[in-house]
C-alpha cells in the first residue's frame, strides 16, 4: 500500500529580524529623499522661470534692488546660464562615485564613514548587529560549524567595516580564542552585544543568545527609526518652507519698498 506523504506546510518562513529592520530603515529614508527631490525641482523652477519675470519688472522700476533680491536675481542668472553644465556635472559626479564605491578601497572608505556618521551611523550600526546576530544564529541552529558560519556572515554583512571585523574574529577563533574577545577588540559591536555573546558561549547556548540579541536590536531599530522620522519631518518642512518662502519674499521686497515710497 502506498503511504500518504506528509503535507508540506504552506505557511511562509518567518522573516528574519534584520530583514524587517532593513526595510524599516529604507522606508524611513524614502520620505526625506522625496521631500529633498521635490524641493530641488521646485526651487529650480522658481529660479529659472519665475525669478526672470520679476527681474524684467524690476528693470522697469529704475531703482536699486534690496540686497536679498539682488542675491536671488544673481543666483537665478547663474542657474539659467549654467543649468546644462550643472546637470552634466551631477551625472558625472554620481557616475564617478558609483565607480569609486565599486572598488574595494572605495567601499571601505564609504562604509567606514557611514557607520560612524552622526544621526544615521548609530542606526546603521544597529541594523548591522541585527543582521549579524540573526544570520549567525540561523546558521548555528542549522548545524553549520562556527567558522563556516562566520565566513558566510562576513560575506553577507553588507558593510566592509563589519566584514573586516568578522574576518578578524574568525582568524582569532581558529587560534583558540572565544568569539567575544576578538569582537570586543574590533570596537564595531556594542559592549552589551559582546558581553551577551560571551555569556552565550559560556553557557553553550550561543545560538539562542544571538537570536535574543537580534530581536532586541530589531526593537532598537524600530525606536530609532521612529525618533529619526519624528525629527526629520519638521526639519524638512522648515527647510522647504523657509527656502521657498525666502525666495518669494525677496522678490516682493522691491514692490513693498515702492509701495512704501508712494504712500510716504
The model's pLDDT over 120-137, given as tens digits with 9 standing for 90+, comes to 888 889 989 988 999 999
CA distance 153 to 131: 9
Percent of the chain at pLDDT exceeding 70? 91
Residues 132 and 98 in one domain: no
Instruction: Give the pLDDT confidence of 20-63 residue by residue, as tens digits.
Output: 767 777 777 788 888 888 889 999 999 999 999 988 888 877 77
Same domain, 85 and 134: no
Residue 76 lies in a domain: yes
Point out the least confidently predicted range of 42-51, 177-186, 221-230.
Answer: 221-230
**Count of the separate structural domains present in the chain:** 2
Whether the CA torsion 248, 251, 256, 259 is positive or negative: it is negative
Q: How sure is the predictor about 1, in pLDDT bands with cuts at 50, 70 and 90?
A: very low
> Is 216 among the domain residues?
yes
240 inside domain: yes
Please check the confidence at residue 250 and state whether its pLDDT lies above 70: yes
The verdict on 198 and 216 lying in the same domain is: yes
CATH code assigned at 193: 1.20.81.30
**Domain identity same for 151 and 124:** yes
Tell me, what's the pLDDT at 255? 82
Residue 127 CB contacts under 8 Å (≥ 6 apart), including other chains = 18, 21, 22, 25, 217, 221
Average pLDDT, the chain: 86
Do 91 and 49 lie in a common domain? yes
Same domain, 174 and 240: no
12 belongs to a structural domain: no
Same domain, 125 and 109: no
Give me the pLDDT at residue 260, please: 64
pLDDT of residue 140: 93
Instruction: Find the Cα–Cα–Cα–Cα dihedral 88, 90, 96, 98, rounded to 10°.
Output: -130
| Domain that includes residue 142, residue range | 119-224
Query: Whole-angstrom Cα distance, residue 152 to residue 177?
Result: 19
Amino acid at each position: 500500500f502506498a503511504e500518504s506523504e506528509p503535507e508540506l506546510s504552506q505557511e511562509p518562513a518567518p522573516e528574519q529580524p534584520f530583514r524587517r529592520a532593513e526595510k524599516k530603515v529604507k522606508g524611513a529614508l524614502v520620505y526625506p529623499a522625496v521631500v529633498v527631490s521635490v524641493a530641488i525641482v521646485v526651487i529650480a523652477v522658481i529660479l529659472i522661470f519665475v525669478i526672470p519675470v520679476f527681474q524684467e519688472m524690476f528693470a522697469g522700476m529704475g531703482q536699486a534692488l534690496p540686497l536679498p533680491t539682488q542675491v536671488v536675481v544673481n543666483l537665478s542668472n547663474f542657474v539659467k546660464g549654467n543649468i546644462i553644465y550643472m546637470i552634466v556635472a551631477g551625472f558625472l559626479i554620481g557616475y564617478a562615485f558609483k565607480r569609486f564605491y565599486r572598488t574595494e578601497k572605495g567601499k571601505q572608505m564609504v562604509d567606514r564613514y557611514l557607520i560612524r556618521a552622526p544621526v544615521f551611523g548609530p542606526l546603521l550600526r544597529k541594523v548591522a548587529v541585527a543582521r549579524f546576530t540573526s544570520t549567525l544564529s540561523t546558521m548555528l541552529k542549522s548545524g553549520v560549524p562556527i567558522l563556516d558560519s562566520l565566513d558566510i556572515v562576513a560575506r553577507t554583512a553588507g558593510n566592509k567595516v563589519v566584514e573586516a571585523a568578522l574576518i578578524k574574529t574568525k582568524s582569532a577563533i581558529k587560534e583558540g580564542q572565544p568569539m567575544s574577545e576578538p569582537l570586543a577588540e574590533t570596537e564595531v559591536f556594542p559592549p552589551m552585544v559582546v558581553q551577551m555573546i560571551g555569556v552565550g558561549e559560556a553557557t553553550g547556548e550561543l545560538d539562542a543568545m544571538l537570536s535574543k540579541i537580534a530581536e532586541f536590536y530589531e526593537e532598537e531599530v524600530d525606536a530609532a527609526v521612529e525618533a529619526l522620522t519624528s525629527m526629520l519631518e519638521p526639519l524638512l518642512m522648515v527647510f522647504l518652507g523657509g527656502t521657498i518662502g525666502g525666495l518669494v519674499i525677496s522678490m516682493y521686497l522691491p514692490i513693498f519698498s515702492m509701495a512704501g515710497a508712494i504712500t510716504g
